[in-house]
Amino acid sequence: MTTAIAPRLMGKRILVTGAGKGIGRVTAEMLVSEGAEVIAVSRSAEDLGSLAERTGCRTHIVDLADAGAAGAVARQALPLDGLVNNAGVVELAPFLETTAALFERVMAVNVRAPMLISQIVARDWIRREARGAIVNVSSLASLWGTPDHAAYGASKAALDSLTMTMANELGPFGIRTNSINPVVTLTPMAERAWSDPAKAGAMLARIPLRRFAKPKEVASVICFLLSDAASMINGVILPVDGGFRVA
């Protein structure tokens, strides 16, 4: 007689930001398939509507560039068992043409929002003496000087640093924080940034697997890090890059 294996995230309540498209959407769908209750956040009502219809998850339309709105959605989502800080924006410009306004917009969504949301969620875990897991979705751009990515790369490097500090300070409370750093992943945002064949070819040539990542390959790592199977993994900056760094 075969014993059924329960989904590894059964009954877990998890907030996913940037869940409307790309990595966030596939992550939300995968989490639901693993038995989790998902609260999905995005700026797009249309994207959230189709996601809710497909998965039954709860949704919130929020622009995380608004610090007050970011905090409010985190409080509304409580109590949680896991958090995926996936929302991100990319605005491409050469370093010498990167304006203060552009830099601030990118940092607001890619760094400030994860910090504010994580603070609210972690305070609730500590108050309840509950364990939890946070996954920050960073980028290989934090580890490599990608042309035209001055603001984006800086924001993801800041997110990695934030991850390590969170892991150190929150670890004693049983709260794990990890960062994943995908190579170019075939999402709508990445397709805009890497539509130039010459630019894409140079990147592909440095990836031993000779291809970019698929959203489901990144989402599967996120689900693993949220699960009890990763219970001793904390403070990791984990490239999902097909071997880019060793080439």
User: What are the catalytic residues?
Assistant: 152, 156
Please enumerate, as own/partner, the contacts of 52-55 that have beta carbons within 8 Å and a separation of 24 or more: 54/29, 55/28, 55/29
104 contacts 118 by C-beta, under 8 angstroms: no
150 contacts 102 by C-beta, under 8 angstroms: no
Give the span between the Cα atoms of 244 and 171, in whole angstroms: 30
Give the span between the Cα atoms of 152 and 83, in whole angstroms: 22
Query: Hey, what are 199's tokens?
Result: 């630019």
